[in-house]
Amino acid sequence: MIAGCAIGLPPMKDNPHLCLPYLCMALASSAPSHGAVLYQSSTDASGILTRATWAGDGTLQTNLPDLVTNPSDSLLVDDFSGTGIYTDIVADGQGRMPNGIGFTSKFVLGGGGTADLKVRPDYTVSGGQLWRGFGVNDFQGVNKITYTITYDTPIAASSVSNFFNFEPMLASLSIIEPGTGLSGTDYEVMATLSGLNSSSDGVNFVPGVDGLNPIAAPTFGATAPGDVVFNSPGDADINTFYMIRGYDANGGGFIDNDDLNKVYATSIEFMVTRDDGMNFPSDAEFRFTPDGAQYDNAPIPEPSSLVLIVLSASGLIFRRNRK
């Protein structure tokens, strides 16, 4: 994780279709939680997932345990193409997210090719390691990847012990391996936050983040108040995190603990392409890591884009079952 708090951020334009209104505030039962979004899932001998659903093509691997004893990443789906939706995932409460918060991860490949989806073990508990992030690699004929994570409840940024080192809001992206002949500077990244709501007092929330300065990792360029779309300047190298750390809600010029529970969002999208528009090398690898926190003032959302994603996933499952 990049230490330090960057004040500059990339240019973005608010997309009204991405911002969804919330009903008036209601207190949630959960207290501030600290730890990553950890969950358990597994596949049986037939490749059937438990505690999650895969909607898409490719081959689900068999006999993946929900508590991983091998600390390396595990292949989950071999050679998927087009759109793959990994949904019905529920946080187990041992990380930053309270128990029971659900999320959907959507992967879209551009170019008509295929890639592999891996799951990343992290955070040791009794019996093994819980699942955490996702890795995508082994690209064949792919020139773009878009990853969208959508939570079923509003999520905020979270702090760590270092005052200036804040964890990502909703998720982060890192280029683990740019691929043969390339460096991290050969890629462009765009991140878009949606379902944003903000409050000056932590009680009364309104849609959007008008006038609030976003704080992002230095892998993104300069930003302006109210930005929700962030673009990389194209000079970030490998093993560098792309993340939005939150918004300066109290006008202090940076994020402090008073800002954290004043801005919530439900979804973030990362889109990765090469500068020259060519296909990714087969040995390139990108990692997407869900993250964030929820506090006891979290707003209650109206039905949101998560419903659309679930319906889309249902359609994929229906079409797949008809084949």
More confident residue, 158 or 16: 158
- CB 226 within 8 Å of CB 161: no
Q: So what's the pLDDT on residue 302?
A: 59
Share of the chain residues as helix, strand and coil, in percent rounded to the nearest 5: 5, 40, 50
Confidence of residue 7 (pLDDT cuts 50, 70, 90): very low
How confident is the model over 22-44, as a mean pLDDT?
Answer: 50
Q: So what's the pLDDT on residue 64?
A: 85
Does the pLDDT at position 122 exceed 90? no
Tokens of 28: 């949630």
Rounded Cα distance between 213 and 209, Å, is 8
Does the pLDDT at position 18 exceed 50? no
Confidence of residue 151 (pLDDT cuts 50, 70, 90): very high
- CB 116 within 8 Å of CB 67: no
Rounded Cα distance between 186 and 263, Å, is 33
Does the pLDDT at position 256 exceed 90? no
Mean pLDDT over each residue of the chain, to the nearest integer: 78
How confident is the model over 254-270, as a mean pLDDT?
Answer: 90
What's the N-to-C CA distance of the chain in angstroms?
44
Q: So what's the pLDDT on residue 304?
A: 46
Q: So what's the pLDDT on residue 142?
A: 98
How confident is the model over 91-100, as a mean pLDDT?
Answer: 71
How confident is the model over 269-296, as a mean pLDDT?
Answer: 93
DSSP state of 278: P
Confidence of residue 181 (pLDDT cuts 50, 70, 90): very high
Q: How many CB atoms lie within 10 A of CB 206?
A: 14
Tell me what percent of the residues of the chain surpass a pLDDT of 70: 72
Q: Which of 154, 143, 54 is nearest to 102 (CA)?
A: 154
Q: So what's the pLDDT on residue 3?
A: 30
- CB 176 within 8 Å of CB 287: yes
Instruction: Give the CA angle between residues 169, 173, 178 to the nearest 5°.
Output: 165
Residues in the chain: 323
For the ranges 194-203, 230-239, 300-309, the lowest mean pLDDT is seen at: 300-309
Q: So what's the pLDDT on residue 127?
A: 65
Q: So what's the pLDDT on residue 213?
A: 94
Q: So what's the pLDDT on residue 107?
A: 98
Does the pLDDT at position 236 exceed 80? no
For the ranges 21-25, 180-184, 211-215, the lowest mean pLDDT is seen at: 21-25
Burial label for 273, CB within 10 Å (0-12, 13-18, 19+), is middle
Does the pLDDT at position 21 exceed 70? no
User: Could you report the per-residue pLDDT of 283-319, keeping only the tens digit for each?
Assistant: 999 999 898 888 888 887 655 444 554 555 455 554 4
Q: CA 152, 157, 160, 166 torsion: positive or negative?
A: positive
More confident residue, 36 or 322: 36
Q: Report residue 75: phi and psi, to 5°.
A: -65, 130
Tell me which amino acid residue 57 is. Answer: D
Tokens of 264: 């919530």
Rounded Cα distance between 23 and 264, Å, is 13
More confident residue, 276 or 297: 276
User: Could you report the per-residue pLDDT of 42-76, keeping only the tens digit for each?
Assistant: 889 999 988 889 999 999 999 988 776 666 788 99
Confidence of residue 146 (pLDDT cuts 50, 70, 90): very high
Does the pLDDT at position 37 exceed 70? yes
Instruction: Give the CA angle between residues 206, 208, 209 to the nearest 5°.
Output: 105
User: Could you report the per-residue pLDDT of 241-251, keeping only the tens digit for each?
Assistant: 899 989 998 88
For the ranges 27-31, 159-163, 268-272, 311-315, the lowest mean pLDDT is seen at: 27-31
